[in-house]
Amino acid sequence: MQPASEANQRIARISAHLHPPNFQMEESSGLRRANCRAKGAAPGFKVAILGAAGGIGQPLAMLMKINPLVSVLHLYDVVNTPGVTADISHMDTGAVVRGFLGQPQLEEALAGMDLVIIPAGVPRKPGMTRDDLFNINAGIVRTLCEGIVKSCPKAIVNLISNPVNSTVPIAAEVFKRAGTYCPKRLLGVTMLDVVRANTFVAEVLGLDPREVDVPVIGGHAGVTILPLLSQVKPPCSFTPQEIDQLTLRIQNGGTEVVEAKAGTGSATLSMAYAAVKFADACLRGLRGDAGIVECAYVASQVTELPFFASKVRLGRTGAEEVLPLGPLNEYERAGLEKAKQELAESIQKGVSFIKK
């Protein structure tokens, strides 16, 4: 027989779900319930997704709910989080899920988070560049980063919102102004470029993509996406025509999806996969696992630019080491010069947005 108090608690928990209050109210009672349920939850990290009801946000939330390193998952958006949260919270995995709706709940959504993943913002339509998203997404990223400053200044931030080449400098400026900036904790997510590169190279080589590792450096837009095909693992060689075609396809991977989706958005499912792959690497680094190396767009001294994507070693404090680029061939050196020109402008645009 259960003691009466425990039985009463169980009944209260079940009836709270049978008669759900509106979402605002659920936040207070939801926290109470979640605290009870957290007893049974696996130990792990607290992760928030900002933009969780979007095309990337929803599958990303689902995949993070499955991740055994996550004990608490906060889903924040300006629309539709009640439905997404209710849906995902029924999955019988360890993480406790809580939803937060609208800016008044941003600070609560972020309180105490170890990792914040940001896929909030508008996506491209055919004919647009990622930079065309700047006017809307820059302000969204600024607001969300101001929330991070207040509620979880020590969290690792994975920034997905485009144009990444500019939104990462925007985030850095917001954190600098608040005095909370730590370059190791701010990472622009370029993992989708690596995922695509691995897939396309594996296709050409006739290999399983899981066996292929292609470093992709620079940034996350057009010519700033620079795959280092001379450094592919396992070691291999390509004809000059294959190098041209592969480089172009990797640089245009995003546009390929935007065009195929014909006005309904950009990559969401492959991006959610890439975001989880990257977030999982960050969490394993936070846990103290050794030898976690992934490409990301971070504060960097490997070139004269203040931000650059390259391989970084992830650890307990975030991007603990930015690794050197390694030897580049002539084709890659020429690509690097082009990438740096465009990157310099995008970085400056982001910095000026906050400084103006």
Ligand X SMILES: O=C(O)C[C@H](O)C(=O)O
Closest by CA position to 117, among listed 196, 58, 52, 31: 52
Nearer to ligand NAD, 53 or 156 (CB): 53
Q: Rule CB under 6 A: is residue 267 a binding residue for ligand NAD?
A: yes
Single-letter amino acid, residue 105: Q
Nearer to ligand NAD, 274 or 336 (CB): 274
Taking the C-alpha atoms of residue 95 and residue 74, their distance in angstroms, rounded to an integer, is: 10
Taking CB atoms, the residue at the shortest distance from ligand NAD is 54
Cis bond upstream, residue 163 (ω within 30): yes
Cβ burial, residue 181 (10 Å; 0-12/13-18/19+): middle
The listed partner (ligand X, ligand NAD, none) that binds 257, CB under 5 to 8 Å by sort, is: ligand X
Query: Least distance to ligand NAD from the beta carbon of 58, Å?
Result: 8
Closest by CA position to 237, among listed 245, 229, 228: 229
Considering only residues 142-201, where is the footprint of ligand NAD by CB under 6 A? 143-144, 160-162, 164, 189, 192
First to last CA, the chain: 67
Token digits of residue 217 = 């450096």
Query: Least distance to ligand X from the beta carbon of 249, Å?
Result: 12
| Helix pair 240-251, 191-205: axis angle to 10 deg | 150
Q: Are strands 115-118 and 96-101 parallel, antiparallel or unpaired?
A: unpaired
Query: Least distance to ligand NAD from the beta carbon of 192, Å?
Result: 4
Binding residues for ligand X, rule: CB under 6 A, are 123-124, 130, 162, 192, 220, 253-254, 257-258, 266-267
Nearer to ligand X, 30 or 163 (CB): 163
Nearer to ligand X, 98 or 124 (CB): 124
- Pick the binder of ligand NAD from 133, 168, 214, 250 (CB under 6 A): 133
220 given a catalytic annotation:
yes
Specify whether the CB–CB gap between 78 and 102 falls below 8 A. Answer: yes
Specify whether the CB–CB gap between 277 and 189 falls below 8 A. Answer: no
Taking CB atoms, the residue at the shortest distance from ligand X is 254
The listed partner (ligand NAD, ligand X, none) that binds 56, CB under 5 to 8 Å by sort, is: ligand NAD
The listed partner (ligand NAD, ligand X, none) that binds 258, CB under 5 to 8 Å by sort, is: ligand X
Nearer to ligand NAD, 262 or 290 (CB): 262
The three-class DSSP label of residue 190 is: coil
Taking the C-alpha atoms of residue 288 and residue 8, their distance in angstroms, rounded to an integer, is: 41
Given 19, 74, 90, 220, the catalytic residue: 220
Closest by CA position to 268, among listed 78, 47, 46, 53: 53
Token digits of residue 307 = 């931000």
Nearer to ligand NAD, 82 or 123 (CB): 123
Closest by CA position to 313, among listed 298, 326, 332: 298
Q: Which stretch binds ligand NAD (CB under 6 A): 26-34, 93-101, 121-129, 329-337?
A: 121-129
Q: Which stretch binds ligand NAD (CB under 6 A): 8-16, 177-185, 264-272, 319-327?
A: 264-272
Catalytic residues: 220
**What residues line the site for ligand NAD (CB under 6 A)?**
50-51, 53-57, 77-79, 119-124, 133, 137, 140, 143-144, 160-162, 164, 189, 192, 220, 265-268, 271
